[in-house]
Structure 1
């Protein structure tokens, strides 16, 4: 548990800011891990899609090298600023952001009167210790795993999918600069997923975010700085979501209508704010805990046991009347490789694996009306005809763009290198925030 005194909390906040500051330090990512693989932009390209050589995406040894992308560079260097500092928790809406200010002013009088549970994204364990989890007046997921709001007019969370024997498939914390082979594996399997993107990552790695749209994945919001959402005040929480939506819109051309709170930390106050921005909340009931391996809080064996438990539940008929949603991550090479290792098992255990929005029949996943995704019936019909769930292994030997798997002498398995700066930083941040619920 985090100490309840203000001094340790302030120290934790300072640590978070210090860690965030190393993410885009010049040159630090030149030696980042490259999850072996490459990408060529689709033909024809969407009109917003940048193409190499704007960034060295075609070379797995260079895909994590820092690069400049015109629209992002212009937005970040504009005066007045269009976005807050990357990886810093948002302390307030930008004074120059008249659109954001107007939207916030229009809703702030209706936000449920629930006090923040920390300061600037850092949770206060004393609040959790004193909170009445039995009556749970705030429907605070961290305290009670509540998903049915107590506040009037607030939409319930999506923690499962309604379709039997169906897995709502998705990954948090992207886009990861080294995700090309992971995404190529999914593309080769004709498998789409829901990607919960951190706003700061989107501006750090815009071309990687664009690939998700080009590949047909569904993009959702995962906050700006990946802090505890209930530990922000109203304006800060609004800004964390608002600027992430704006970043995704800038880079991809689309505004998400779904989101997931980091660590699941949400209450009715935060739900209302997100709902006011046109987003519904996606949680889960099956947690791989894959992100905890890098911090030492979990072992690979424990993560595999979590995957195996989900697979076993599918085999025992647990999902005969309604499906499941799994929590997994695009965080680092380990989490992506583990997802690949388990994909064939999941495909054998579940009748269908689909993006969450597809399972909910949300054919318009973005605020813009010029994009539609398949309904559930359309998706599974297409998957069936293309043998999405055909027998396969977690090897990338079928990835025509893989450049070093065989050379690594790993019998076709993807070659894994050392962890990335972004991944390591985010794991530590997640660990500090998660301490309040330990």
Structure 2
């Protein structure tokens, strides 16, 4: 007959194993990629490479400014500042307000995309934006605003389809969610920059606009080991002054001609039905022949579970409507998407032929292997918390305290329960 003490021992053993199984590995990209519960995914964690370097960056989620202590940034700014137009003034406010702005909207002298969707600069020597892609019946697949803390189910879906995409990452999100940023490289996606704080870029001073891009590039490099060579302006807000800054940093400007408006859901009366209709409009343009000679780009987001769920829902229809769905870099035959040369994308012909990843990334798209860009960062140890996407930069300095008071005690408690149960 089972004694009460045996029952208590069994109960303690089950409880201890439950506690241990609940504790998640937030120290490596591979461990993080296994977490699919959104509540656990979005729990803050400490990651040494980014948290220890936080004072080398502007406060997260504030307009970036060039730090006086950043000698490399100061040198880069000095090397390109002479090429930036000084007769184009900032327009409006960083939140997008244009109250009081006077501008010649008819002639559009600054090629201001927000006003006329201009993509061919009026100033000489500045590269044009990429708003469509040269490959016919092809979709340039891209998502803004990542890395999102709850993106694992979405990235798992992309991996199941062996589908790669271009991910335009916000620098503050990269610092908040570094392991999530690493997954993009591990899965073979292309990473582009999406500024530090996601403000309207034409409203900023030239040096602050430079800082928004510079520190995003540095954050991506710090966390993933690669430095992007493309960027997408938040809200599409770019003019020739901002283009010149981006070009000085070696960044190609990527825009779009179609908008899913997934990011507007619930704002100003926009409903899920409206978003579905915008997806449908893009798809109907493909089936009607609009993209028979030149492919298309639609704006979509890794912003939240809704936008990512929409992407999953419409993926089969996009597959049916387009001959090919590829990252934007692949569509442009840009096999070197980063400053570093130890990572490459396949050419368009390679990708559509079945080779969806080349050196530096996982050919299977799974999270079991890491790209070469993640190996250095992933080897660093970590414990628990960097702060969520709404946190300030200063909160990240509390990571060490959270590590002591957070995950570690859970593991210790679980181990103590296990030892106690075995001792009884």
Q: 1:400 to 1:153 in 2, by over 3 A?
A: closer
Please name the residue that 1:84 is paired with.
58
Q: 1:383 to 1:347 in 2, by over 3 A?
A: farther
Please name the residue that 1:300 is paired with.
272
Report the 3-state secondary structure (helix = DSSP H, G, I; strand = E; otherwise coil) of the residue aligned with 2:279: helix
Kindly report which structure 2 residues correspond to 1:310-321, keeping only aligned pairs within 5 A, or say none: 310-321=282-293
Report the 3-state secondary structure (helix = DSSP H, G, I; strand = E; otherwise coil) of the residue aligned with 1:314: helix
Please name the residue that 1:110 is paired with.
83
| Greater share of helix | 2
Kindly report which structure 2 residues correspond to 1:9-20, keeping only aligned pairs within 5 A, or say none: none
Q: 1:57 to 1:74 in 2, by over 3 A?
A: farther
Q: TM-score, normalised by structure 1?
A: 0.74
Shift of 1:89: 1.0
Report the 3-state secondary structure (helix = DSSP H, G, I; strand = E; otherwise coil) of the residue aligned with 1:118: coil
Number of aligned residues: 340
Shift of 1:297: 3.9
Q: Could you say which structure has the greater relative contact order, defined with CA pairs below 8 angstroms and 6 or more residues apart?
A: 2
- Does 1:334 find its partner at 2:306? yes
2:40 to 44, 55, 62: 62
Distance 2:232 2:36 in 1: 32
- RMSD of aligned Cα (Å): 2.5
Shift of 1:127: 5.1
Deviations 1:53-103 (A, max 9, x none): 6x5853524111000111011101xxxx2101011111x200100110011
Deviations 1:285-343 (A, max 9, x none): 11000001143541111110011111111111111101000100010111000110000
Kindly report which structure 2 residues correspond to 1:37-76, keeping only aligned pairs within 5 A, or say none: 50-51=28-29, 58=35, 60=37, 61-76=39-54
Q: TM-score, normalised by structure 2?
A: 0.76
Q: 1:288 to 1:52 in 2, by over 3 A?
A: closer
Distance 2:274 2:267 in 1: 14
Structure (1 or 2) with the larger CA radius of gyration = 2
Shift of 1:50: 3.0
Distance 1:307 1:423 in 2: 29
Report the 3-state secondary structure (helix = DSSP H, G, I; strand = E; otherwise coil) of the residue aligned with 2:343: coil
Shift of 1:122: 3.5
Distance 1:236 1:99 in 2: 15
- Could you list the runs of 4 or more consecutive aligned residues of structure 1 that deviate by over 4 angstroms after TM superposition? 421-425
**8 Å contact from structure 2 (residues 176, 389) kept in 1:** no
- List gaps (5 residues or longer) in structure 1: 1-38, 42-48, 385-398, 402-420, 426-438
Kindly report which structure 2 residues correspond to 1:27-426, keeping only aligned pairs within 5 A, or say none: 50-51=28-29, 58=35, 60=37, 61-76=39-54, 81-90=55-64, 92-113=65-86, 114-119=88-93, 121-126=94-99, 128=101, 130-382=102-354, 422=389
Distance 1:358 1:127 in 2: 42
Report the 3-state secondary structure (helix = DSSP H, G, I; strand = E; otherwise coil) of the residue aligned with 1:62: helix
Distance 2:258 2:248 in 1: 28
